[in-house]
Structures are given as structure tokens and as C-alpha cells.
Amino acid sequence: MSEHKDFLRTIVEKDLKSGKYKEIVTRFPPEPNGFPHIGHAKSIAINFGIASDYNGHCNLRMDDTNPTTEDTKYVEALKGAVEWLGFEWNGNVRFTSDYFHKIYDYAIQLIKMDKAYIDSINEEEMREFRGTVTQAGKRSKYAQRSIEENLDLFKRMKNGEFKDGEHVLRAKIDMSAANMKMRDPLLYRIRHSHHFRAGNEWSIYPMYDFAHCLSDYIEGVSHSICTLEFENNRDVYNWVLDTLGLKVNRPYQHEFARLGINYTVMSKRKLLELVEGGLVSGWDDPRLPTIAGYKRRGYTPESILNFCDSVGIAKANSMVDVAQLEFCIRDDLNTKVPRVLSVLNPLKVTIENYDGSEEIDAPYYPHDVPKDGMRKLPFSKEIYIERDDFMETPLKGYFRLTPDQGVRLRHAYIITCKEVVKDSNGEIIEIKAEYYPESKSGAEDTSGIKVKSAIQWVSAAEAKKVEVRVYDRLFKDEAPEGLEDVNPDSLRIIKNALIEPAVITNRPDERFQFERQGYFYADPIDYTDELPVFNKIVGLKDSWGK
Ligand code: ATP
Ligand code: MG
Ligand code: MG
């Protein structure tokens, strides 16, 4: 459990202590109309986290009351996200649609109590009659219908006798309530559409305000935790349960601040636009803030949960810097993954005074990572280094290879530049170099030569060719509005990168630190033996804006 108790846990503890509940039951109630994003991870972490901290249960409930946008593939994605984050839901996955009959019966009960009526005004009148914050609304004339007429119409709505929009069922509360949500909220609407689970059984579907509180009650939820935008719905939540007399072990709603991260959008609707508009490769595109995207990119569940924890649970909305998430994944991988050598933009180096070949024993992990593991690094006369690691006319403060400055090849020898070979366009195509035999890395270095920097390299004959995908932020705007703010350069594909052979043949891990380049993940879909593909998870340090 987090060291500092958040306000939700404070409430839970108080409710346990007072005996209000014997057991804590929470739920994560997504609508299956898109893939879950990191905002959902936050809600998952809170709901499952609280249940587990207090030996309770957390249900996974698909809030499937809107047949036109929902689908089984989203149910699967939501289940997958909860599992990947390491949580187990209580019993079977639940569906609001499983409760449609019960919810319908509660509606009948409200009508019989004269607490709900069939309204038949059009949408425009509905809006007009609702009034404004400063002006009371007024009730439609249909509110005077008799209980018998309401019952009859409601049953006929259910039987599919009316068209979409012809009638609605509304709660009879107060058209002049200060809380606009209490102005006779809609409980049911007509929708002639196929439901992915209920099929064509229903022509009417309950609204969120009616279905949610009742589903919570039916499941024995104690704490119904939702985001702040539902604050005003809380009165309706309580009204429904109180009016129906559902007192015993009834749930209460508590709101927390929605997670927002800069440089991204976090709504399933907007994410769907990106996916359907072909701006990304799918719901699992590594640039998306979806759980599937983070997973494919190489984020670990731990890093996502640590991030959610570091953000805390607030009562006011705020924007979190994406750098905080990047810190969490870097921090997690730092203590876990092997360090290997790769060259993304190769420049050939021929070491003229080296003959033959050798294998250098090199540890996968630095001293401060308590893990063991070695691999053999083949070394030979022909190697590749990173093009950026040589400068013919160095800038001030450049510590890598230049015509006058030697450099250490990581785990291997110090080399110096003897000749720069160029093609007819003046582009550098090769460096002819020499090495110091006594300069081999570690205890064997008796050369006494000092250089200011070590660079990565691979042996030409043994290096493996790989594809590397480097991602930048999907949006160029800190607070993107939509598709028009998409960063056109958010994906760079490097086709001819080279990597030391152990990464491919020994596969010591799926995630690596490519030394000096960043953290990378073997793409779980596109990686093949013929063409290994690696996704850049995150850079080694926050280089944004520099
Ligand atoms: P979206 O607009 O992305 O569809 P939503 O709130 O409609 O989000 P639901 O599927 O209804 O998504 O949400 C399931 C649960 O996840 C809800 O309890 C909701 O409050 C929570 N949730 C969704 N987005 C966030 C977020 N950004 N931060 C915290 N919790 C969130
Ligand atoms: Mg929702
Ligand atoms: Mg939504």
C-alpha cells in the first residue's frame, strides 16, 4: 500500500471501522466501446488496489448500455488490460446487460410509485424545458400521465412499438433543482439496434444514471469510485437508490480527478478517430496511450502502476507531464534489462593493425545492477561505429573520435583515426584506424592511454541487421485538440541498424538497453528471425526540447 493514505482509502477505512460495510467491494466499469488507455489504468489501479488493500473484491463490469458503439473485441481488450496490469477480477466478468431485466423491473416500480413518467416531447423542447443554471426548467405536459398510461406506454416501448426518440422514461424529481442533472433525468430511451450480447431482445436501453447505481447495488458494491465529471450525477445516483428504498448494504459514489497527460489525447472517442483515420497502425500502435500501445512499445506493467501511484489520487483535475511516465519506465528498466551494443547509423571502421578475430567477455549489466550475465562480443578488423561518433572537424567539447582524438570501443580497445575515406560526393564512407593492443578494457588495460569517451560498435562480420522503430510524441501540441495536432514525424523507421549477435542468438531478454541509445523492445508482432524488429521504448534521459 502507498505510504500516504489517499482520501479514498481514508473513506474506506472509516466505513470499515464504523461497520457501514463488512466487506469492501469495488468495480471497474468500462464501456466496451474502445481500447482502454492509461486513464483506465489509473482507475484499474485504484479500484483493484483498494479492494486488495482491504481484503475485498473488485468486479470487472462492462457498462454495455449503448448498443451502437459496443463490441466484443473491446471487451477482450479491457480484460486483457486488467490481466496485463496484474489484477484478478472477482468471479466472472459482469455485464450491465445481464441486469437489464432487473433494471427494467426497478423502472416499473418507479412508475408505480409515480416517480417516473413517459415523456414524449422532442429533443428541442426537452432542451428548452430543462432551463439553465440561472433559470428553472418546467415540466412537460406529459408528466401528468396516469400511472396506468405510463405503465402501458413503457411496456409498449419495450415491445418495440415506437420509433427511436418517440418517447423516453424520465424520473420525476424536480425541474427547478439547482443541480441540472436532477431536472427529471432520462432513465430509458428507445434504441432499435442489435446489442452485441442481448441481441435484439431490447428496444429500450437504460441510461447511465439509472443503470449504474442499480448495477452497483445488484453486485453489492460498497464504494462506487468514478471520475469528477460525475460529481453532479451523484445526486441522481442517491435519488434512485433512496427512492427505491434500497438501503441495505447500498453503495455510495466517490469521485477522484481524471488522469490527463500532456501531448496526448485520452478519450476512447478521439483514439478511435486516430485508429479509423489510419493515423496510427491500430489500437496497439506504440505511440498511442492505450494499454495495448504501451504493451507493444515495451512498457512494463510495473512502470504503468508506479506511474499511477506517483500521480496520486487527487480531487482536482490536473495535467501530468508525460516526462513523469517516461521517468517511471526508465527507472523500472534500469534495474532489469541487459545492456548491449547497437549501431543505428553505421560507419565502417577498418582497424589496420588488427589481424584475426577474438571474442571479448562482456557483462550484460553494469556494477550497480545486481544481476549476472555475460556474453561474448566478437571483435575483428572491420567494425561499425555510429556515424555521429566521428567528427572530422569537431565542435568544441566533442569527446568522441576525431582525426586527432582517440576513443574507447566499449568493452574493447582504444582506437585512433589514421585516415578518412570519402566517396566522390565528399561523404565519409570509412575510417581507417589503429588500435592499441595493450588498451583492452578493464584490468588488462596497461596502455596508460587516456581517452574521454567510450562508444558502441559492432563487428561487421557477426553483426545482425535489424529494423528499429523510433517514436516521438504523437502530438506536437501540449494540449492537443484532435487530429489536426498530430505530429507528422512521430515514427522513424531505421531499416539497416546493426546489433551485436548475442541479442539475436541468445535472446537474453525482450527488453534491452542499447547502450547510449535508449531502451528497446523486441516487437511482439513483427519480429521475425529474418528481420528482427525493435521498438524504442524510451530514451536514456529526458531529451525533449534539447
Ligand atoms: P473515455 O472518454 O476515454 O471513453 P470514459 O470515462 O467514458 O473514458 P469508461 O470506459 O466509461 O471511459 O471508463 C471506465 C472507468 O475508467 C470509469 O470509472 C472512468 O471514470 C475511468 N476513467 C476513464 N478515463 C479515465 C482517466 N483519464 N482517468 C481516470 N479514470 C478514468
Ligand atoms: Mg463512460
Ligand atoms: Mg467515454
DSSP letter string, 398-457: --SBBTTB-EEETTS-EEEEEEEEE-TTS-EEEEEEEE-GGG-SGGG--S----S-EE-E
Distance from residue 28's CA to the centre of ligand 1 (Å): 9
Contact 407, 400 (CB under 8 A): yes
**What ipTM does the predicted assembly reach?**
0.96
354-405 residue pLDDT tens: 999 999 999 999 999 999 999 999 999 999 999 999 999 999 999 999 999 9
Cβ partners under 8 Å of residue 155, min gap 6: none
Distance from residue 164's CA to the centre of ligand 1 (Å): 27
Backbone angles phi, psi at 415, to 5 degrees: -125, 160
Q: How confident is the model at residue 2, as a pLDDT?
A: 52
> Which residue has 432542451 as its cell numbers?
127
Cβ partners under 8 Å of residue 76, min gap 6: none
Inter-CA distances, 263 with 303, 474, 479, 480, 482, Å: 19, 7, 6, 6, 11
Average pLDDT over residues 151-177: 98
Q: Which of 40, 273, 318 to mutate to test the pocket of ligand 1 (most atoms within 8 A of CB)?
A: 40
Nearest ligand, measured from the Cα of 229: 1
SS3 category, 293: helix
Which of 294, 323, 328 lies closest to 308, judged by CA? 328
Ligand 1 atom, smallest distance to 258 CA: 28
225-269 residue pLDDT tens: 999 999 999 999 999 999 999 999 999 999 999 999 999 999 999
Q: How confident is the model at residue 542, as a pLDDT?
A: 64
Between 9 and 482, the higher pLDDT residue: 9
- Provide the greatest CA pair distance for the chain: 102
Q: Which domains does the chain have, with CATH numbers?
A: 7-259 (3.40.50.620), 262-334+464-499+516-546 (1.10.1160.10), 341-462 (2.40.240.10)
Distance CA 345, CA 380 (A): 19
Distance from residue 114's CA to the centre of ligand 2 (Å): 29
58-78 residue pLDDT tens: 999 999 999 999 999 999 999
Hey, what's the cell of 358? 577474438
Nearest ligand, measured from the Cα of 270: 1
Q: How confident is the model at residue 57, as a pLDDT?
A: 98
CA-nearest residue for atom 3, ligand 1, is 267
Distance from residue 194's CA to the centre of ligand 1 (Å): 24
113-128 residue pLDDT tens: 999 999 999 999 999 9
Question: Is the CB of 75 inside a 6 Å radius of any atom of ligand 1?
Answer: no
Mean pLDDT of the chain: 96
Ligand 1 atom, smallest distance to 32 CA: 10
Question: Is the CB of 385 inside a 6 Å radius of any atom of ligand 1?
Answer: no
For residue 545, pLDDT beyond 50: no
SS3 category, 209: helix
Amino acid type, 499: I
Backbone angles phi, psi at 327, to 5 degrees: -60, -45
The angle at the Cα of 370, spanning 367 to 372, to the nearest 5 degrees, equals 85
Hey, what's the cell of 493? 523507421
Question: Is the CB of 227 inside a 6 Å radius of any atom of ligand 1?
Answer: yes
Question: Is the CB of 40 inside a 6 Å radius of any atom of ligand 1?
Answer: yes
Give the strand pairing for 518-522 and 533-538.
Answer: antiparallel
Nearest ligand, measured from the Cα of 29: 1
Upper half-sphere CA count for residue 429 (Cβ side, 13 Å): 7
Distance from residue 208's CA to the centre of ligand 1 (Å): 13
Question: CB count, 10 Å around CB of 68?
Answer: 10
Annotated active-site positions, please?
A: 31, 258, 268
